[in-house]
């Protein structure tokens, strides 16, 4: 009958069906791959750079031709910075090897394990010591000073005796030691703005 559509040969119909199914499968694979990559890039892990603990976005797994890792934003990084060498030995190795974490809040857990620097007294003078009172940390003296406890205002001297001046990172301890040195000088000079100076002023 004129004008009737010609029926496709069976072989051609099978080929078209195969192409259609293959297209659907390919689209599903690509979509699934994109979703997987997005999921991997949304994760977090901890590593190190230049001796400091660094939080990364993505995954520590290596995939050829695909970059799945980048440093997390600055506001998500440890502040103050955490030196890998200030962590207990086992945790140092974990950071060097990298390990997966849930997110930026995990940095707080890591901070709790850092071997801190504290101002302490030794033979009546202020020193900087690392790891005091922390079971997983080796305790050792880092720095001496010429500041005597009896030269300091009462609150400063009490803070040293009670271990109240404790810091993540050596810089914080050094800065506090310099502040105590300034208070000592102010007391010697009779500066009325510094309260609790020794009564003799020396």
The domain spans of the chain are 44-111, 117-188
Residue 66 neighbours by CB distance under 10 Å: 11
| Residue 47 to residue 58: CA distance in whole angstroms | 12
Q: What is the pLDDT of residue 36?
A: 45
Q: What is the pLDDT of residue 148?
A: 97
| Residue 39 to residue 16: CA distance in whole angstroms | 35
Is 132:151 a contact under the CB 8 Å cutoff?
no
- Residue closest to 170 by CA, chosen among 72, 74, 77, 51: 51
For residue range 123-182, what is the model confidence (pLDDT) as tens digits?
Answer: 999 999 999 999 889 999 999 999 999 999 999 999 999 999 999 999 999 999 999 999
pLDDT band at 23 (very low <50, low <70, confident <90, very high): low
Highest-pLDDT range among 6-10, 16-20, 110-114, 182-186: 182-186
Q: Which is more confidently placed, 2 or 32?
A: 2
Q: What is the pLDDT of residue 184?
A: 96
| Stretch 82-111: mean pLDDT | 91
| Stretch 26-53: mean pLDDT | 65
11 CB contacts (<8 Å, ≥6 apart)?
Answer: none
| Residue 143 to residue 130: CA distance in whole angstroms | 10
For residue range 68-80, what is the model confidence (pLDDT) as tens digits?
Answer: 788 999 999 999 9
Q: What is the pLDDT of residue 65?
A: 57
Q: pTM to 2 decimals?
A: 0.71
């Amino acid at each position: 009958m004129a004008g009737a559509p010609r029926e496709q040969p069976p072989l051609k119909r099978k080929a078209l069906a195969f192409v259609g199914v293959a297209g659907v499968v390919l689209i599903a694979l690509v979509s699934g791959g994109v979703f997987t990559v997005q999921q991997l890039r949304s994760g977090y892990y901890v590593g190190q750079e230049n001796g400091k603990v660094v939080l990364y976005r993505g995954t520590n797994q290596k995939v050829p031709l695909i970059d799945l890792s980048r440093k997390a934003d600055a506001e998500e990084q440890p502040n103050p910075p955490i030196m890998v060498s200030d962590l207990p030995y086992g945790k140092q190795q974990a950071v060097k090897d990298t390990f997966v974490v849930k997110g930026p809040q995990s940095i707080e857990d890591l901070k709790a394990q850092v071997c801190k620097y504290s101002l302490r007294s030794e033979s009546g003078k202020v020193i900087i010591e690392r790891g005091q009172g922390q079971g997983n940390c080796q305790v050792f003296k880092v720095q001496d000073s010429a500041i005597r406890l009896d030269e300091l205002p009462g609150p400063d001297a009490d803070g040293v005796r009670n271990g109240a001046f404790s810091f993540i990172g050596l810089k914080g301890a050094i800065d506090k030691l310099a502040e105590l040195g300034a208070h000592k000088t102010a007391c010697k000079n009779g500066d009325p703005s510094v309260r609790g100076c020794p009564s003799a002023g020396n």
